[in-house]
Amino acid sequence: MAVKPVRRQYTHLLLPHASLDDPQRALFEVALRPAGWIADPDESSTMSLRWTKGNAALRVQTLGWFPLLVTVGAVGKPSAVHRDAAARLTAAVLAGGGKSFTDRQLVEYLPQAQLRWQRALLERQRLSTAESMLKARRCSYCGSWSDMSATHCAGCRRRFTTADDADRDTTVSRATATIKEAETALAELARGVVLERLGGVTHG
């Protein structure tokens, strides 16, 4: 008895971007619209997208961020129409510098995806803290916050000294350097720089 080949029901794609934002949704739309797929306006978010073509439905589901990892699959029984759509999306992603993962590579990568997301959260926290340090100065005497250009403390009304101004300038310098480091790290995570080896192929 002949054994029918098993076709993959899902396509896993890695895009060199942080998340499923407007540019990535537009990329998918451009790839699918010429084939007659229509985006479902009621299901369009940073987590999932859905298209329909006649009685067929297709879903893109986010699995990871920094870089963006998605799985494309049929809603219901897969058909040639779904496979054509997956091929169109794969071609668009590869043309944009992305990757296509096998099921095995996906399983290998998922733990790394979680670690990369945790690293991105830490970098975002560093960025937010550093940015706040550029918006106000803190009084070394009472601990109150004042406008960065203030000459007197908003809390105790003490006039800032030359030493206070020097401390402020040092804080600004450190915060500026931290912002640059965090932005660089986030950009590299989003592009997929330094991905671990997957199935014998180095990515990043």
Rounded mean pLDDT, 124-139: 95
Distance CA 140, CA 14 (A): 48
What pTM value is reported for the model? 0.82
6: DSSP letter? P
Question: Which pLDDT score is estimated for 136?
Answer: 95
Distance CA 37, CA 31 (A): 9
193 in Cβ contact with 145 (< 8 Å) = no
73 in Cβ contact with 59 (< 8 Å) = yes
The pLDDT-based confidence of 1 (bands split at 50, 70, 90) is very low
Residue showing tokens 């998340």: 19
Percentage above 70 pLDDT, the chain: 92
The pLDDT-based confidence of 8 (bands split at 50, 70, 90) is low
